[in-house]
Amino acid sequence: MVDDRELPEGERLQKVLARAGIGSRRVCEEMIEDGLVTVDGEVAVLGRRVDIDHDHIEIDGIPVPVRPGLVYYLLNKPAGAISTAADTHGRPTVVDLVPAEPRVFPVGRLDADTEGLLVLTNDGDLTHRLTHPSFGVDKEYLAQVEGTPTRAALRTLREGVELDDGMTAPAKVSTLEPSLLRITIHEGRNRQVRRMCEAVGHPVVRLVRTRIGDLTDRTLAPGEWRTLEIAEVRRLWAASSGDDEAPR
Ligand code: URA
Whole-number percent of the chain with pLDDT over 90:
77
Candidates 51, 111, 214, 243; catalytic one: 111
Q: Is the dihedral of CA 216, 201, 165, 168 positive or negative?
A: positive
Partners of 162 in beta bridges: 167
**C-alpha closest to that of 17 among 54, 61, 49:** 49
Residue with the bigger pLDDT between 134 and 223: it is: 223
Name the average pLDDT for the chain.
91
Pocket test for ligand 1, best of 117, 118, 142, 191 (most atoms within 8 A of CB): 191
Q: Which residue range forms the structural domain that includes residue 23? A: 4-63
* In a domain? residue 246: no
Cα-flanking dihedrals φ and ψ of residue 20, to 5°?
-70, -10
Helix (H, G, I), strand (E, B) or coil at 197: helix
pTM (whole model) above 0.85: yes
Give the pLDDT mean for 45-65: 92
244 is catalytic: no
CATH of the domain at 10: 3.10.290.10
**Whether residues 119 and 223 fall in one domain:** yes
Identify whether residues 47 and 82 lie together within a single domain: no
Please check whether residue 212 is in contact with residue 220, taking contact to mean a CB–CB distance below 8 angstroms: no
Within-domain flag for 129:
yes
Binned at pLDDT 50, 70 and 90, residue 11 comes out as very high
Q: Residue 247: inside a domain, yes or no? A: no
Give yes or no for residue 1 having a pLDDT over 60.
no
How many Å apart are CA 95 and CA 131, to the nearest integer?
18
- Do 198 and 98 have their domain in common? no
* Residues 127 and 146 grouped into a single domain: no
Is 126 found in the same domain as 147?
A: no
Residues 153 and 197 in one domain: yes
Q: How many helices (H) and strands (E) does the chain have?
A: 6, 16
CA distance 136 to 242: 8
> Are 154 and 193 in the same domain?
yes
Residues 120 and 223 in one domain: yes
Q: What is the CATH number of the domain that holds 173?
A: 3.30.70.1560
What is d(CA 131, CA 114) in angstroms, rounded to the nearest whole number?
18
User: Going by CA atoms, what residue is nearest to atom 3 of ligand 1?
Assistant: 191
| Residues 225 and 64: beta-carbon distance below 8 Å | no
In a domain, 206, yes or no: yes
Q: Which residue, by CA, sits nearest to atom 5 of ligand 1? A: 110
Please report, for residues 31, 43, 45, 57, 138, the alpha-carbon distance to residue 50 in angstroms, rounded to integers and kept in the order given: 16, 13, 11, 9, 34
Does residue 246 carry a pLDDT above 60? Answer: no
Classify residue 235: in a domain, yes or no: yes
pLDDT in tens, 70-113: 999 999 999 999 998 777 788 889 999 999 999 999 998 999 99
pLDDT 10s digits, 128-179: 888 876 777 899 999 999 999 999 999 999 999 999 999 999 999 999 999 9
Q: Does 245 reside within a domain?
A: no
Residue 159 within a domain: yes
In a domain, 248, yes or no: no
Contact 120, 73 (CB under 8 A): yes
- The whole-angstrom separation of Cα 19 and Cα 50 is 13
Domain count, the chain: 3
What's the CATH code of the domain at 127?
Answer: 3.30.70.580
Do 37 and 146 belong together in one domain?
A: no
Mean pLDDT in residue range 188-203: 96
Residue 8's pLDDT is what? 56
d(CA 8, CA 40): 18
